[in-house]
Copies of this chain bind each other. A is one copy, B any other.
Amino acid sequence: MSATFPPLARRLDGLQSSAIRDLLKLTSRADIISLAGGLPDAELMPRDRIAVAADAALSDRSRLQYTESPGWGPLRDVLAARESARLSRAVPVEEIFVTHGSQQALSLLSEVLLDPGALVVVEDPAYVGALQVFRAAGARIVAVPLDAEGMRLDVLRELLATGERPAVVHTVSNFHNPGGVTLSPERRRDLANLAEQYGFWVIEDDPYGELWFDRPSPEPVAAYSPNVIRLSSASKILAPTLRAGWMIAPVQVCRGVELLKQGADLCGSALTQQITADLLSDTEWLTAHVDSVRQVYGTRAKALVDAVRARFGDRVSSTDAAGGMFVWAEFTDGTDAQALLARALEFGVAYVPGNAFAVSTDYTHSMRLCFTTSDAATLDEAVARLAKAHAATPAQP
């Protein structure tokens, strides 16, 4: 008799492989310019500096051994210093927890903070990695739409006024994936106040905050309240291969996450965590490195947005791309972005249709465009192809 696995079929409902991931498999053809990806540019990652750090890290055999579940001590120390500066208070090392990418923080937090059926508020459109985790935890999910200033707190307030009591509100506060927008300083303070007033947790998911182009990101939501758990990561500024994410949270939350981490995978890698500590603490080098990444991404973002505006005019409205990795663009002429995709692929360009990120709204006319891995000329060519595909598509009813 074959062994069976009863829970799997049910879990597949909540855990479908993301549409984006499936699309990426289709768009790796060499003749397609992909704006569909969501990866930082490997050419900008500090390979040589990582190699020096790896060599230095291996001088000490303790870095070959198992390490502590909350993370390699020297990395936690560096993060505590960085976050103290970011949050304008002395963050003790006990409030720093290193995870295997910030996705693991989301996953472990959802186990610590959520009962099945608990209400989780997400943004619409949403970061799909968070959606996947909250759905797997059996949460009831309500979406609050974004506008140009980030999460619409008026809609959140209406929800609270109906008596709904979220356990968690999740926000990508800076340069939203996929929405491109940043939560305004006023809304940050207001969101923190609502969290304290109604007793919910805010998970401030901030992988992109350092990738600002014109002016630094606003103070974190976490600067306004201890009810805010802040997540960040080395993946977008250094390299995803380090698998170094982190969480700043009250000690009792860290303690709960620690118990779960022991069961999940015991601990992280002292080698990659020491490399991360080395690079993050080399502040002069780091400043220059992150500046150069900002400059390249900023140039690409501008090239993409300019091309969209030049070729589509008022038929497309797009975000400004003030930082991060993504532009969110919406057809104002009724074009169905999902329907256009097949034609776009024929013309040699790919993007992710908005409905891949939809929670309550369907974002039929929207698309996410990633500008990180193509140069300005290629981005312009991509938009030219998209314009041809659009012109070749019969007008929508």
Contacts and interface: CB of A to CB of B under 8 A. Distances in A.
Integer count of this chain's copies in the complex? 2
Contacts of A43: 61
Q: Which of A5, A129, A196 has the most CB of B within 10 A?
A: A5
Contact of A113 (B1, B7, B136, B253): B7
A266 B112 contact: no
B8 A256 contact: yes
Interface size class of A (residues with CB under 8 A): 35 or more
Contacts of A256: 5, 8, 11-12
A4 B250 CA distance: 11
A201 B51 CA distance: 43
A58 interface: yes
A114 interface: yes
B268 A113 contact: no
B198 A1 contact: yes
A224 interface: no
A269 interface: yes
A58 to B, nearest CB: 5
A375 interface: no
Interface in A33-59: 39-40, 42-43, 45, 47, 50-51, 54-55, 58
A231 to B, nearest CB: 13
Q: Which of A11, A195, A235, A259 has the most CB of B within 10 A?
A: A259
Contacts of A100: 100, 265
Given A3-B227, A101-B266, A51 B55 contact: yes
Interface stretch (A237-245, A285-293, A363-371): A237-245
Contact of A15 (B42, B61, B259): B259
Contact of A42 (B61, B132, B252): B61
A325 to B, nearest CB: 13
Contacts of A268: 243
B6 A115 contact: yes
A199 to B, nearest CB: 4
Contacts of A45: 61, 64-65
Interface in A214-249: 226-227, 235, 239-243
Contact of A272 (B39, B195, B269): B269
Contacts of A258: 17
A100 B243 CA distance: 11
Contacts of A121: none
A112 B374 CA distance: 39
A132 B262 contact: yes
21 contacts: A1-B198, A2-B196, A2-B227, A5-B201, A7-B111, A7-B112, A11-B111, A15-B262, A42-B61, A42-B65, A43-B61, A45-B64, A47-B64, A67-B241, A99-B265, A103-B266, A107-B264, A240-B267, A241-B271, A265-B265, A269-B272
Interface of A: 1-8, 11-12, 15-18, 21, 39-40, 42-43, 45, 47, 50-51, 54-55, 58, 61-67, 99-101, 103-104, 107, 111-115, 118, 129, 132-133, 136, 167, 195-201, 226-227, 235, 239-243, 252-253, 256, 258-260, 262-272
